[in-house]
């Protein structure tokens, strides 16, 4: 358990990337991807991982169960409505974990109770007490949330919180579900709860702030200043609508401004950047370049005056170092002649434990890359590792791609795709080379999907850098993410598209029925 003494200045970091962020449009993950993120969150040092909502689907249940079995360190939490069956499902999924928490929630604002729950306040209170009591009979660690707390009647909020504390809740979460509050108001709400709710001094008060007005980080910190000792947050600030308080922002604010915030977290800040990249890649949601802490421009200085100041003294324009959040300077690590042994050593230094088969796969990609590129950087190695360890059994394999485009020509592409024994070959035109390539893949595979989102970035700075394409496709209402890397950006785009199709085939178990040409 995190320290439960509320006078302590340790702020519990409760990560909801796998629950609240996973609810955001297009962000859904495979179970193995959730487990991979959970391992990285444990490496990052979060106190609590909210692994999912077990009763909501079999996939959610399995993900929470596997994370509970496999991920050591943090407390694993599962979400449940104030409904006995939800709580039982959460307990069953969580039981293998060494330390686990049931997080049960209802709504406390008049608008939610009247229109959504269709219950009177006294019914809501009764159900909440019963649920907390039941959860407490299963575990010592029970969190209670009243959705839309800032828009609730404060007297009712005091009443229900007092009642659930008496029923055994150990953490009381105050969600600003619709991101409506302001820092001053939210801070005052926390202070008022501490003043007016008997028994509140025995529990941890938590914040859960959404970012609809861009104030989630500020509101969470205002909560801490007024006595909250848990922050619920997500990597890259992902989550419903405009997202949640961003983990990297709240953590680095606490770290950088300890002089006024006077508290600390257990986060290993050097792991922030890597965690952000992993979540972005697996969810297929790019981080905006100017995003605080983890955006591509967060440590980039452009104007002459700034650069001049920095060269004279870093602290002129830098309030934290890139290294402190895990953004390291690009290092030339290996060349063509470095060999398998050198590659293995570098992968280990970068924190990756690879089995022999994975190492062999990465080595083959590395030698291919080293032939094309003069210098191979850490970022390149990480991209190759990502590519290898997230590779799926390939239903479709890109065997050949030829593409032509230029001023005054009609972009065209020819692809050859191997599917088992079948060779699928087609040519197509398009608005540009990527469009032509995607049209050719569609003709070859016979799979018509909707391309929802596409982005390409250079993994390192130079024009010969590896390009990484990330995209999302939609098929029959479900979203699938694909990613591809190559020094040729059209090839990276084709690989990303085919990897999304492979995800789709695996996840819909349609390997034998779809795209049969
Ligand atoms: O935003 C919210 O109110 C939630 C609750 C389930 C805590 O996510
Ligand atoms: Zn939420």
Q: Could you report the per-residue pLDDT of 70-124, keeping only the tens digit for each? A: 999 999 999 999 999 999 999 999 999 999 999 999 999 999 999 999 999 999 9
* Res. 8 pLDDT band, cuts 50 70 90: confident
Q: Give 77's Cβ-side CA count (13 Å radius).
A: 28
Domains, the chain, in order of start with CATH, read 12-283 (3.20.20.70), 300-388 (no CATH), 397-507 (3.30.160.270)
Cα–Cα distance for residue pair 396/409, rounded to 1 Å? 30
Q: Is the pLDDT of residue 2 over 60?
A: no
Q: How far does residue 177's CA lie from ligand 1's centre (Å)?
A: 6
- The stretches of 197-338 forming alpha helices (DSSP H) are 216-225, 247-256, 258-261, 272-283, 304-312
Q: How far does residue 177's CA lie from ligand 2's centre (Å)?
A: 5
CB atoms near residue 319 (< 10 Å): 9
* Res. 27 pLDDT band, cuts 50 70 90: confident
Q: Is the pLDDT of residue 462 over 70?
A: no
Give, for ligand 1, the residue of 82, 128, 142, 145 to mutate: max count of ligand atoms closer than 8 Å to Cβ. 145
Cα separations in angstroms, 175 against 143, 267, 398: 12, 22, 47
Percent of the chain with pLDDT over 70: 92
Q: Which residues line ligand 1 (CB under 6 A)?
A: 20, 105, 145, 147, 173, 175, 177, 208, 210
Residue whose Cα lies nearest atom 1 of ligand 1: it is 177
Q: At what angle do helices 272-283 and 378-389 cross, to 10 degrees?
A: 40
- 3-state SS, residue 429: strand
Cα–Cα distance for residue pair 442/413, rounded to 1 Å? 12
pLDDT for 512 equals: 47
Residue whose Cα lies nearest atom 2 of ligand 1: it is 177
Residue bearing the bigger pLDDT, 214 or 29:
214
Whether the model pTM is above 0.75:
yes
Cα–Cα distance for residue pair 233/220, rounded to 1 Å? 9
What would the mean pLDDT of 459-479 be, rounded to a whole number?
Answer: 79
Cα–Cα distance for residue pair 439/447, rounded to 1 Å? 10
- Least confident span in 150-164, 243-257, 262-276, 346-360: 346-360
Q: CB of 1 within 8 A of CB of 203?
A: no
Give, for ligand 1, the residue of 105, 181, 234, 245 to mutate: max count of ligand atoms closer than 8 Å to Cβ. 105
What would the mean pLDDT of 339-345 be, rounded to a whole number?
Answer: 82
**What letter does residue 331 receive in the DSSP assignment?**
-
pLDDT for 503 equals: 81
Residue whose Cα lies nearest atom 6 of ligand 1: it is 105
What would the mean pLDDT of 273-302 be, rounded to a whole number?
Answer: 87
Q: How far does residue 20's CA lie from ligand 2's centre (Å)?
A: 6
pLDDT for 509 equals: 63
CB atoms near residue 173 (< 10 Å): 22
Ligand closest to CA 103: 1
Pair of tokens at residue 505: 């085939």
Residue whose Cα lies nearest atom 5 of ligand 1: it is 147
Give, for ligand 1, the residue of 20, 81, 82 to mutate: max count of ligand atoms closer than 8 Å to Cβ. 20
pLDDT for 340 equals: 84
Q: Is the pLDDT of residue 497 over 90?
A: yes
What is the C-alpha R_g of the chain?
25
pLDDT for 168 equals: 98
The predicted-structure confidence for 115-173, as pLDDT tens digits, reads as follows: 999 999 999 999 999 999 999 999 999 999 999 999 999 999 999 999 999 999 999 99
């Amino acid at each position: 358990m995190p320290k439960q003494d509320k006078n302590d200045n340790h702020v519990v970091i409760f990560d909801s990337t796998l629950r609240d962020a996973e609810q955001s449009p297009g962000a859904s993950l495979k179970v193995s991807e959730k487990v991979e993120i959970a391992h990285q969150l444990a490496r990052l040092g979060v106190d609590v991982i909210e692994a999912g909502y077990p009763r909501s689907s079999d996939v959610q249940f399995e993900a929470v169960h596997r994370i509970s079995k496999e991920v050591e360190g943090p407390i694993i939490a599962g979400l449940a409505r104030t409904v006995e069956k939800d709580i039982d499902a959460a307990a069953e999924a969580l039981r293998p974990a060494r330390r686990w928490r049931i997080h049960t929630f209802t709504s406390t604002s008049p608008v939610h109770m009247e229109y959504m729950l269709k219950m009177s306040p006294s019914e809501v209170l009764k159900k909440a007490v019963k649920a907390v009591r039941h959860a407490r009979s299963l575990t010592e660690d029970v969190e209670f949330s009243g959705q839309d707390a800032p828009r609730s009647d404060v007297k009712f909020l005091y009443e229900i919180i007092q009642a659930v504390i008496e029923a055994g809740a150990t953490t009381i979460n105050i969600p600003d579900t619709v991101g409506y509050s302001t820092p001053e108001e939210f801070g005052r709400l926390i202070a008022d709860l501490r003043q007016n709710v008997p028994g509140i001094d025995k529990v941890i008060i938590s914040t859960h702030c959404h970012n609809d007005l861009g104030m989630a980080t500020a509101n969470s910190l205002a909560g801490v200043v007024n006595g909250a000792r848990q922050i619920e947050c997500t990597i890259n600030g992902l989550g419903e609508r405009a997202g949640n308080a961003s983990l990297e922002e709240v953590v680095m604010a606490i770290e950088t401004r300890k002089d006024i915030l006077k508290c600390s977290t257990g986060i290993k800040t050097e792991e922030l950047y890597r965690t952000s990249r992993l979540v972005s890649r697996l969810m297929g949601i790019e981080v905006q370049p100017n995003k605080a802490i983890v955006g591509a421009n967060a440590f980039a200085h452009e104007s002459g005056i700034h650069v001049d100041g920095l060269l004279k003294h870093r602290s002129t324009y830098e309030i934290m170092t890139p290294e402190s959040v895990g953004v390291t300077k690009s290092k030339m690590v290996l060349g063509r002649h470095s060999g398998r042994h050198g590659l293995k050593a570098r992968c280990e230094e970068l924190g990756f434990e690879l089995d022999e088969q994975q190492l062999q796969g990465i080595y083959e990609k590395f030698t291919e890359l080293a032939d094309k590129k003069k210098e191979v950087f850490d970022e390149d190695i990480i991209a190759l590792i990502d590519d290898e360890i997230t590779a799926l059994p390939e239903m479709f394999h890109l065997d050949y791609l030829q593409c032509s485009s230029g001023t005054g020509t009609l972009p065209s592409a020819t692809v050859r795709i191997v599917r088992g024994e079948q060779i699928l070959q087609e040519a197509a035109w398009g608005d540009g080379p990527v469009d032509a390539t995607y049209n050719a893949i569609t003709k070859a595979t016979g799979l018509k999907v909707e391309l929802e989102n596409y982005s390409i970035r250079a993994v390192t700075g130079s024009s010969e850098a590896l390009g990484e394409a990330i995209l999302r496709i939609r098929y029959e209402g479900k979203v699938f993410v694909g990613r591809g890397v190559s020094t040729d950006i059209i090839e990276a785009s084709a690989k990303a598209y085919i990897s999304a199709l492979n995800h789709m085939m695996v996840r819909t178990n349609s390997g034998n029925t779809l795209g049969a040409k």
